[in-house]
Structure 1
Amino acid sequence: MLLPWGTRREIDWFTKDMGRIFPREWERFCSFLPEAEREGDLCAAYARLLADSDPAVYQQAALEWCRWEDTHVSLMPGWEPSLRYCDPQFSLIFSRLVTHYWSRGCFLADGELMAGMPLLADIPAVLIHGRWDISGPMDVALNLHRAWPKSDLWILEGAGHGGMGFSEAMTAALDRFRTPF
């Protein structure tokens, strides 16, 4: 999964607001947290559990975080649960990395990344986004594209947060920038 552009709104969308789309799954995601932390910064709460010294605590926290990760991509056509989350080492590293950055706002002030877009103004880019990606809503990609004058936004109609067509689209995008020797 790619990180959002670092705003609190985008992190809250993923950790809280998507509970409106998946209410039962979100309740399960929150139920692992201490009750007093279920209304606050869920990333920080999970980060604390993932850093616990008790393997039973941090392994279950990693499983719950990754279960939620897998839920929000489940709307795309052809979705199947990701086998990578079955690997305890992968799920622990992945969940610790995401919660570390997100609980700290990706180490950016809200809007800081977009404010730096003029630095990229003359650099061409291809942004690839799946139509079914609700965890990274289309408006985020569209706003980035609008702020980046030399970018193209490719929307993959049959894809979600990764999945069908991404490898081919990335290859085609890279081919556009290939210079002959």
Structure 2
Amino acid sequence: MDFSRLETSSKIGDGWVYPAAQPLSSGLLEVDAEAGHRLYWEEYGNAAGEPVMFLHGGPGGACAPDMARFFDPARYRVILFDQRGCGKSEPTVASAGPAVALRNNTTADLIGDIVKLRDALGITGKMHVFGGSWGSTLAMAYAIEHPAHCASLVLRGIFLGAAEDLDYLYQGNAATWHEAPYALTAPGAYISYPGEWGELLSVLTVEERRDVMAAYKRIFDMVPATEAERETQLQAAVTWSLWEGVISNMIPESAATGKFGDADFALCFAQIEAHYFANNLFIEPGHLLGSADVLATIPVHIVHGRFDQVCPLTQASRLVAALQGAGAEPATYMVTNAGHSAMERENALALTAIMDGLPTLAG
């Protein structure tokens, strides 16, 4: 049988509108002397252009140069930065451990970091705030606190972080998986990815699967005393990371795990996510949608993949309904034939088209 004509990737590949580029400048900004946090940042595009603050996902996902390719380099001044504890920021979970890197690492701290980065880079007026997944969460949280700073919100893969959203991704049928692994006993991403789901649960005992996130958090909180314990913790982090990485694409790329299979990335990504998820994202339940009246004062552009299994489309639907309840339609609401990742072709092209079509900022 000839399978050569079947699609093997849903990623954008060589379909980008704008070319890869080198940063104009980069640096480390001290944002918390007490805890020792310094943010790594890079600037792309036009140094005199309209500022765009890019907020990466995760939390703990870090930035990569391709994230600057959504934006016309002649028009925009694009700021990428790695949030506390990950990427090239200092210290990281991988280099210093969670006790150090997760100190003073909350949503309020990250919002404060955006303000400090704005000030350090001389961004005094309004800016476009662009974020996907957890980046959409942080973008909304920032905008609620600082609406006067926001010319627009460009959000992809809306993540509201409610208990039902996390259960869909991490709990599913885990409690009964040992009895009937393919039974549809609860909603969840496992329905579309049963093999990958089995890998995620294989790390845990039957009892631990009653609360998957709590069980993984206990592993991540362990201070390894032996090489075997270190290996157990690392394997758990990589397994957690690969689960989200693989299911982020409509066409899973299990053989090309990329950064999600890298040990240092996985340690940061998994442990920071678990830290935030165990603390309700450090956001009061209902705060984001309950502040829709503030968000409604800003043009909100939404791109969400119809087949997103990390952040199902219902999360975007809830945000749109909240904006409508506050008397405002989203400036854009594009449901793409894609999954979760910003690097999926339809998501990437939709985001680029939105940025190309935004009204020019005055001044």
TM-score bracket for the superposition, by shorter chain length: 0.7 to 0.9
Helix, strand or coil at the partner of 1:126: strand
Instruction: Choose the corresponding residue for 1:15, options 170, 173, 184.
Output: 170
Gapped runs of 5+ residues in structure 2? Answer: 1-56, 58-132, 135-158, 172-187, 225-229
Question: 1:136-155 maps to which residues of 2 (within 5 A)?
Answer: 136-148=311-323, 149-151=328-330, 152-155=332-335
- The structural deviation recorded for 1:139 is 1.4
- The structural deviation recorded for 1:180 is 5.5
Q: What residue in structure 1 maps to residue 239 of structure 2?
A: 64
Q: Deviations over 1:100-138 (max 9, x none)?
A: 111222123442321111111111011111122122111
Tell me: CA distance 1:165–1:90, structure 2 relative to 1, closer, same or farther (3 Å): same
**Matches of 1:113 and 1:100, distance apart in 2:** 20
Q: AA paired with 1:46?
A: Y
Q: Deviations over 1:52-109 (max 9, x none)?
A: 22221221111110121134234x14x4243011321111111112111112221234
Q: AA paired with 1:171?
A: T
Instruction: Choose the corresponding residue for 2:207, options 24, 36, 45.
Output: 36
**Matches of 2:221 and 2:199, distance apart in 1:** 20
Q: TM-score, with normalisation over the residues of structure 2?
A: 0.45
Return the structure number with greater helix share: 1
Are the equivalent residues in 2 in contact too, given 1:7–1:109 (CA < 8 A)?
Answer: no
Indicate the structure (1 or 2) with the bigger Cα radius of gyration: 2
Aligned pair 1:160/2:339, yes or no?
Answer: yes
Q: TM-score, with normalisation over the residues of structure 1?
A: 0.85
- The structural deviation recorded for 1:19 is 2.4
Are the equivalent residues in 2 in contact too, given 1:73–1:161 (CA < 8 A)?
Answer: yes
Return the structure number with greater strand share: 2
RMSD value over aligned CA atoms?
Answer: 2.1
Q: AA paired with 1:52?
A: M
Aligned pair 1:26/2:197, yes or no?
Answer: yes
Aligned pair 1:124/2:299, yes or no?
Answer: yes
- The structural deviation recorded for 1:170 is 2.2
Quick one: percent identity of the two aligned structures?
A: 28
Q: What residue in structure 1 maps to residue 354 of structure 2?
A: 173
Q: What residue in structure 1 maps to residue 278 of structure 2?
A: 103
**Matches of 2:192 and 2:335, distance apart in 1:** 22
Helix, strand or coil at the partner of 1:129: strand
Instruction: Choose the corresponding residue for 1:48, options 192, 203, 218.
Output: 218
**Matches of 2:162 and 2:217, distance apart in 1:** 18
Are the equivalent residues in 2 in contact too, given 1:50–1:57 (CA < 8 A)?
Answer: no
Helix, strand or coil at the partner of 1:140: helix
Are the equivalent residues in 2 in contact too, given 1:128–1:154 (CA < 8 A)?
Answer: yes
